[in-house]
Structures are given as structure tokens and as C-alpha cells.
């Protein structure tokens, strides 16, 4: 589904973005001018849900503390800038303090550098009722970690204040919970460009993320890179892409074990808005997906997936986002308005080239599908009679299976009877099913199902 892009690195990245947006408006060239700008923008920050405390101003540097005071204003602020934080998360963060150190520099790149680091856990965590001794011990350890600035984001701005770069300080921490938990983060960096007081392009990278929980769980993520850019006037006009070299998840429980390896995954997401209607195209490619359950191995090679959605009325979607969840009447009205635009969805291609299963390798499958909602569809009628939905949509799906995969599926008890009733066509040695739902009638390979 279509969603706003999240240009952040966790909550500290969100604070970094807030400072980026505000500290880079204008083109101040000297320290005094920049200080004046900082004064103005800090006043504006205080109008958007934050409070500035304990400010100390010196010739070439400053220090102050930002606190999360007004969750609703903070949510509105990030939403306006194209990032998103839920009201629930913002409320949970009320009272957290972020230390901020500014330095006015004059080297080859930096005109301004910013260090940000949390000073305390949110009261919603540290003051939670009925904490067990283990929880209290963990909170003490985390407070000790914060005291030595183990969580820190650094950002540098260039002299023209048109670009920035930064990093998240490497993290190597061990926590004692029910089991020992080790968390490692290395090589988390980001850089971007600024246009019209917004981040117009952002590149992020993480070399290593490693989480181990006792002997039961281990997660590895290696060489993640992501790129995001605004491509139009609205916050929805955007393009993003990412690559991940390896994702590994392994679990153990008593004598059972499971592992998942995802190798060389890449993806792209493009959203555009024309005359208030948005379209989104998403693609994902994976070289290999390997699953191992105890000694049984299954592999999918050369997996591709693409999904498109179009004719989404952004004005209606924005109203739905703001709507009270209990207002069913208004929700139905807005959903009817959304349907009236003729929402369309498409899977241009979902395919697996090779499958390894039960010690054998064989050709895989491909699938393509379209889904169109009729503009005249009546939501009230569908709610009263769900079968009316059959006349409200038109769909067409094409499934192509290799001979070996079809034989394997047909041997399964649940699929055996269906394979006997619905016969596929044979095209170039492949088993082909073409399913179409049109005007309430379902056909398979051109023949009515019933």
C-alpha cells in the first residue's frame, strides 16, 4: 500500500531531521548570522511541540536540551515535513530529553556540526508501575549507557547549507535480561541534499547490524544501503531504492532449529501524484531465499515481485488518516469516495526461477494479475450483501507452473482434488491457468467455474 517515506534513523534520526529542516533554511555564511538563524529556528521549534532548556551560548559552540512536550504538535510537525511518527509513539516519548551540542566551524566541509544524544529514558518506561527487579536492572544499565553517550547521532552541514552528512556512533552493548542480549551496530552513515527547506535527497547505509539473544535467537543484517529523493511538488512525489547483501535470522528451541537467509535483495518504490490522484510502483528482487528447518532445506532462486496501485485520491486518504476510528458513518462515506475513483491494482510479475525442495531442483512459477474496482460500486450494498462484491470488481490472473512444480503440488492431499477438477492448459511444456472474474462470473481458461 502507498505510504509516506520515513527519512529517519529511529527517534534520534527524527530529531536530526528536525534540526536539519530548521537550521538550513536560508544561506547564512558567517557564524554570527548562523547564530541569529539558530535563535529564530529554536523559537520555532518551541512552537512545534518541543521545549529548549539549559541553553549555553559561547563564541563557537552551543549546548541545549530538547524535550518532547506536546505529542500532537510533534506528530503534526513531522507529518508536515514528510516523515511520520504515530501519536502513540509520541505520547510514549513525552518527557524524553535530547542533548544537543552545536559547533560553528570553518573547515572544508562543515559550517555547522550537531551532536545529539538522549539523556534519559522516557518516563513511560522508567516510571512504569510494577517493574520487576530484572526490568529495574535493565533500566539502570540503559541509563548508564546514556550517561556515556553510547547512543549518538552526528551531523555536519556544508558552508552553503545545501547538503549534510553524518553518522550514528557504533554501538556494542550487552544487556542482561532473561538471557544475555548483545547488540552491535557498525557503519551507520547518512548524507543528503536540501532544497526549499526540505530534505530533497537522502542516502543511508548500515554495514553491520547484529543481535544475539542467548542461544535462542540471532539476527544479522549486512551492507544495507538506501536512497530516497523527492521528485515533485508534493510530499508523495518520491522515489526510493535499497539493497541488502544479507539478512540472516536463526532460532533454536530445545531440539528444533530454524534459519532464514536472504541474499542480495534489492527494491525500488516510486510514487507520483497527478491531479490529486496517486500511483505507486514497487519492485523487489532477491537472488536467493534459503530456509532450513532442522535438516530440511528449501531454496528459492531469482525471486522477483512487482506491485502497482493507482487512482488513489490523496485528499480522501488524508481525511481517512485524521478520522476518528469510531466514526463509522464518515469512514464509509470516505471509502465510497475513494472507490468512486476506480482504484486499480496490478501484479505485473511475481516469479521464482528455480526451487530446491526435498533434495531436488526444478523450475519454478510465474504469476501476473490485475484488479480493478468499478467506479459505480456501492459500498453500502456490498456491506449488506457480500456477494455483491463479485460485480464490483474485475480481476484477471495468469499462473504458469513448471511440470515438476505442478506434479509436486498435485500430490498434496488438499490440492489433489482441485487439480483433477480444474485442468490447466499446456503451453510450451508449462501448466497454465488463466482466471478471470468479470461481471460477477468466474472463468478458468475461458470456461465458467460453475
Distance CA 36, CA 42 (A): 10
Whole-Å CA distances, 13 to 117, 168, 170, 193, 327: 10, 9, 15, 15, 34
Q: How confident is the model at residue 16 (pLDDT cuts 50, 70, 90)?
A: low
Q: Look at residue 362 and tell me if it is in a domain.
A: yes
Summarize pLDDT for 249-265 with one digit per residue, the tens: 999 988 889 999 999 99
Full DSSP string of 134-145: HHHHHHHHHHHH
pLDDT of residue 325: 79
pLDDT of residue 9: 40
Q: Look at residue 147 and tell me if it is in a domain.
A: no
SS3 label, residue 149: coil
Q: Look at residue 298 and tell me if it is in a domain.
A: no
Q: How confident is the model at residue 7 (pLDDT cuts 50, 70, 90)?
A: very low
Distance CA 20, CA 25 (A): 9
Q: Look at residue 283 and tell me if it is in a domain.
A: no
Strand 163-168 to 153-157 pairing: antiparallel
Report whether 409 contacts 415 (CB < 8 A). Answer: yes
Q: Look at residue 131 and tell me if it is in a domain.
A: no
Q: How confident is the model at residue 168 (pLDDT cuts 50, 70, 90)?
A: very high
Residue 208 has φ and ψ, to the nearest 5°, of -140, 130
Summarize pLDDT for 344-396 with one digit per residue, the tens: 999 999 999 999 998 999 999 999 999 998 888 888 888 888 777 788 889 99
Residue 154 has φ and ψ, to the nearest 5°, of -115, 135
Name, in order, each residue with C-beta under 8 angstroms of 326's C-beta and a sequence gap of 6 or more.
none
Q: What is the mean pLDDT of residues 229-255?
A: 90
Distance CA 293, CA 357 (A): 12
Distance CA 311, CA 294 (A): 46
H helix count then E strand count, the chain: 12, 22
Q: Look at residue 27 and tell me if it is in a domain.
A: no
Neighbours of 249 (CB within 10 A): 15
pLDDT of residue 98: 92
pLDDT of residue 29: 44
pLDDT of residue 100: 93
- Number of folded domains that form the chain: 1
Distance CA 386, CA 16 (A): 48
Range list of β-strands (E), 97-187: 97-104, 112-118, 153-157, 163-168, 171-176, 180-186
Q: Describe the crossing of helices 31-46 and 10-23 by its angle, rounded to 10 degrees.
A: 120
This prediction's pTM: 0.82
Distance CA 190, CA 119 (A): 23
Q: In the structure grid, which three cell numbers stand for residue 72, read together? A: 500532537
Q: Is the pLDDT of residue 226 over 70?
A: yes
Q: In the structure grid, which three cell numbers stand for residue 446, read together? A: 475461458
What's the domain range around 337? 312-450
Strand 296-313 to 112-118 pairing: unpaired
Q: Look at residue 392 and tell me if it is in a domain.
A: yes
Report whether 70 contacts 51 (CB < 8 A). Answer: no
Q: Look at residue 356 and tell me if it is in a domain.
A: yes
pLDDT of residue 108: 56
Amino acid at each position: 500500500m502507498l505510504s509516506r517515506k520515513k527519512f529517519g534513523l529511529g527517534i534520534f534520526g527524527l530529531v536530526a531531521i528536525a534540526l536539519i529542516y530548521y537550521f538550513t533554511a536560508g544561506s547564512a555564511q558567517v557564524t554570527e548570522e548562523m547564530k541569529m538563524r539558530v535563535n529564530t529556528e529554536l523559537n520555532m521549534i518551541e512552537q512545534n511541540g518541543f521545549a529548549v532548556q539549559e541553553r549555553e551560548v559561547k563564541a563557537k559552540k552551543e549546548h541545549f536540551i530538547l524535550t518532547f512536550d506536546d505529542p500532537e504538535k510533534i506528530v503534526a510537525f513531522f507529518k508536515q515535513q514528510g516523515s511520520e511518527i504515530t501519536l502513540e509513539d509520541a505520547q510514549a516519548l513525552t518527557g524524553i530529553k535530547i542533548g544537543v551540542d552545536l559547533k560553528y566551524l570553518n573547515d572544508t566541509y562543515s559550517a555547522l556540526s550537531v551532536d545529539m544524544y538522549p539523556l534519559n529514558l522516557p518516563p513511560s518506561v522508567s516510571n512504569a508501575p510494577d517493574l520487576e527487579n530484572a526490568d529495574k536492572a535493565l533500566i539502570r544499565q540503559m541509563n548508564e549507557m546514556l550517561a556515556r553517550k553510547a547512543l549518538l547521532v552526528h551531523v555536519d552541514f556544508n558552508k552553503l547549507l545545501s547538503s549534510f552528512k553524518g553518522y550514528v556512533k557504533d554501538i556494542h552493548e550487552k544487556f542482561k535480561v532473561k538471557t544475555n542480549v548483545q547488540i552491535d551496530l557498525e557503519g551507520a552513515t547518512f548524507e543528503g541534499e536540501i532544497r526549499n527547506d526540505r530534505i530533497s535527497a537522502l542516502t543511508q547505509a548500515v554495514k553491520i547490524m547484529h543481535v544475539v539473544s542467548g542461544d535462542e535467537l540471532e539476527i544479522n543484517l549486512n551492507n544495507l544501503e538506501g536512497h530516497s529523493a523527492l521528485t515533485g511538488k508534493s510530499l508523495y512525489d518520491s522515489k526510493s531504492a535499497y539493497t541488502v547483501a544479507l539478512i540472516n535470522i536463526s532460532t533454536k528451541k530445545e531440539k528444533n532449529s530454524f534459519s532464514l537467509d536472504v541474499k542480495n535483495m534489492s527494491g525500488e518504490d516510486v510514487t507520483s501524484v497527478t491531479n490529486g490522484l496517486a500511483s505507486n510502483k514497487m519492485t523487489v528482487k532477491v537472488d536467493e531465499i534459503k530456509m532450513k528447518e532442522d535438516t530440511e532445506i528449501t531454496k528459492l532462486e531469482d525471486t522477483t515481485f512487482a506491485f502497482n496501485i493507482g487512482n488513489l485520491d490523496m485528499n480522501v486518504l488524508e481525511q481517512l488518516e485524521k478520522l476518528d476510528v469510531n466514526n463509522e458513518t464518515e469512514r464509509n462515506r470516505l471509502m465510497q469516495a475513494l472507490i468512486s475513483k476506480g482504484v486499480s491494482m496490478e501484479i505485473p510479475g511475481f516469479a521464482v526461477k528455480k526451487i530446491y525442495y526435498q533434495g531436488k531442483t526444478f523450475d519454478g512459477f510465474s504469476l501476473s494479475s490485475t484488479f480493478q474496482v468499478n467506479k459505480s460500486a456501492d459500498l453500502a450494498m456490498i456491506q449488506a450483501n457480500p456477494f455483491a462484491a463479485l460485480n464490483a470488481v474485475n480481476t484477471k490472473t495468469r499462473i504458469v507452473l513448471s511440470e515438476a512444480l505442478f506434479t509436486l503440488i498435485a500430490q498434496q492431499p488438499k490440492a489433489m482434488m482441485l487439480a483433477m477438477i480444474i485442468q490447466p492448459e499446456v503451453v510450451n511444456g508449462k501448466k497454465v491457468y488463466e482466471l478471470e472474474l468479470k461481471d460477477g462470473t468466474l472463468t478458468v481458461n475461458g470456461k465458467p467455474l460453475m
